[in-house]
Amino acid sequence: MEYIVFDLEWNQCPMGKDFANPRLPFEIIEIGAVKLSERLDILDTYHALIRPAVYRQIHYQTRKVIHLTMKRLMQEGRPFRDVAKEFLEWCGEEPRFCIWGTTDLTELQRNLDYFRIGNLLPGPILYEDVQKLFAITFETRKDRRALSYAVDFLSIEDEGGFHEALEDAVYTARILQRIPPACIRANYSIDCYRNPKTKEEEIRLRYETYEKFISSAYPGRDALLADRGVTAVRCFECGKNVKRRVAWHPENGRNQVAVGHCPEHGYVKSKIRIRQDKDSEYFAIKTTKMIGEDEAEEIRARAKNKPARPKES
């Protein structure tokens, strides 16, 4: 296996988002990447400029950040389809993508779809979120820092600035080299821009302390929440469905939370995030972990005045 650490720069509609193409809100104009061995040694680099086909002026906010001009892009850039095919061929078979944050992989797939070559990168895609790995290793799991912060924190030599695709990919690779291999293996992420569509494609991933389940697609939220396979609470330790002690209820206005109890292993917390995919269908990302009695009681207390949804079977 080889790691592909990549970074994208993109442009957006110069007249504002109200005038943007809804199928391509962000058009990729630069790709930079570093190829690492399984032992995280640098093997190769990749860089390409892309000639814009949708937005022919650089948005004023983008101009403040990137170091590219439209003149250079038009003179030196190549069509996105050509660059994307070349880049993915350079990546090799079964690469493990690594990015800073979560957005670059999604935008790459969105651009592939727009230019009708989405079949080149099937999903869902397992990847390494180096921003998350940095937080887990050096700060707390919930922290999310800028790339420049991490470079300074680790005293990595400044190569001359940020927001140039290859330079940012090199910075990200250098940070990944500082992450313990065990942490990388235990904390991989999954991108669901191309989410499961059928029951057979549903995904269940087991991490050290929690489980993640990604459901198939449903035409509406009600249909999704009516599926007992989605709303069942499973014990993280033994995998058995358990009785709910706190019914499903909204948390923070976005998620649904429930608490179950396994007679053998104790309390279990499940959280459902409902997302809408690019085809306007709905799917669930459910995480499950073991919790203590005190946390279970806290959740029960918060849920008292909240309507339960979905209803218990």
- Measured from the Cβ of residue 192, the count of other Cβ atoms closer than 10 Å reads 17
Tokens at residue 296, please? 């279970």
Q: Are 26 and 52 in contact (CB under 8 A)?
A: no
Q: Are strands 203-206 and 266-276 parallel, antiparallel or unpaired?
A: unpaired
Backbone torsion region of residue 161, taken as left when φ is above 0, otherwise alpha when ψ lies between -120 and 50, otherwise beta: left
Q: Are 284 and 214 in contact (CB under 8 A)?
A: yes
CATH-assigned architecture of domain 197-303: 2-Layer Sandwich (3.30)
CATH class of the domain at 3-189: alpha beta
CA–CA distances in Å: residue 231 to residues 49, 151, 243, 247, 256 = 46, 42, 11, 10, 10
- The H-assigned helical ranges of 156-280 are 165-176, 181-186, 221-225, 228-231
What does the pLDDT profile of the chain (313 residues) look like in tens digits?
Answer: 899 999 999 999 999 889 999 999 999 999 999 999 999 999 999 999 999 999 999 998 888 888 899 999 999 999 999 999 999 999 999 899 999 999 999 999 999 999 999 999 998 999 999 999 999 999 988 899 999 999 999 999 876 667 799 999 999 999 999 999 999 999 999 999 999 999 999 999 999 999 999 999 999 999 999 999 999 999 999 999 999 999 999 987 779 999 999 999 999 999 999 999 989 999 999 999 999 999 999 999 998 876 545 544 3
Segments making up each domain of the chain, as ranges: 3-189, 197-303
Q: Calculate the dihedral angle through the C-alpha atoms of 200, 206, 212, 217, rounding to the nearest 10 degrees.
A: -10
- The H-assigned helical ranges of the chain are 60-65, 70-76, 80-91, 103-114, 130-138, 147-153, 165-176, 181-186, 221-225, 228-231, 293-303
Domains 3-189 and 197-303 share a fold: no
Q: Can you give the pTM of this predicted structure? A: 0.87
Residues 268-281 pLDDT 10s: 999 999 999 989 99
Distance CA 246, CA 303 (A): 8
Helix (H, G, I), strand (E, B) or coil at 112: helix
CA–CA distances in Å: residue 95 to residues 74, 126, 167, 169 = 30, 10, 20, 15
